[in-house]
Amino acid sequence: MDSVQREYWVKVAFGCVYHGIMDDGSEVAIKLLTREEQSGDREFIGEVGMLSRLHHRNLVKLLGICIEGRTRCLVYELVRNGSVESHLHGADKNKGNLSWDSRMKIALGAARALAYLHEDSNPRVIHRDFKASNVLLEDNFTPKVSDFGLAREASDASHHISTRVMGTFGDACLAWTQQCEVVRLLLFNANIYFARAETSSMDT
């Protein structure tokens, strides 16, 4: 972690992501948190402890953290094939249309990731900012749900978490619940379907 070479990559919610190269040549994604997102050291370490216990094929893996003065970073595995949003509506759209098989793979993988967070992880977690730009793609289009700086533990009694406004501006679900997140998944799947339908109609 001492000699990571960093190249600015992209700005995301509550921070910037850098492309990092470790001493052993492995590549990582480094999220540098903004001051607004930074909590106390104890709270930050506790949140990272929660994130480190989340392991699923369709979640971006947290590899480590760095705390130096007021600078705090989260180090993740690098998922280099862009986001679902980018492939449907952004810079990666010119690479060609996603096949139906790839779209089904993405939809199923994202659903499995949320099902794991809601039902099988310990503690159970609600992501709070699930959307197409937070679903990254491997080269074979395996989806990886990302940006767990917004994740919070879910109460066993009510499946309810803090109503503090975070995530995408204008979100109607201020008191995030699992039900709200399922609605976001349905909208995500509709986005995948209608983007394809629009392209198909133009081709005919």
- Active-site positions read 129
Helix (H) or strand (E) holding 5: strand 5-12
Q: Which amino acid is at 88?
A: L
Q: How far apart are CA 180 and CA 168, in angstroms?
A: 14
* Cβ-based burial of 170 (10 A; exposed 0-12, middle 13-18, buried ≥19): exposed
Which stretches of 102-157 are assigned E, i.e. beta strand?
Answer: 125-126, 135-137, 143-145, 152-153
Do 36 and 14 form a contact (C-beta atoms < 8 A)?
yes
DSSP code at position 119 = I
Q: How far apart are CA 78 and CA 180, in angstroms?
A: 29
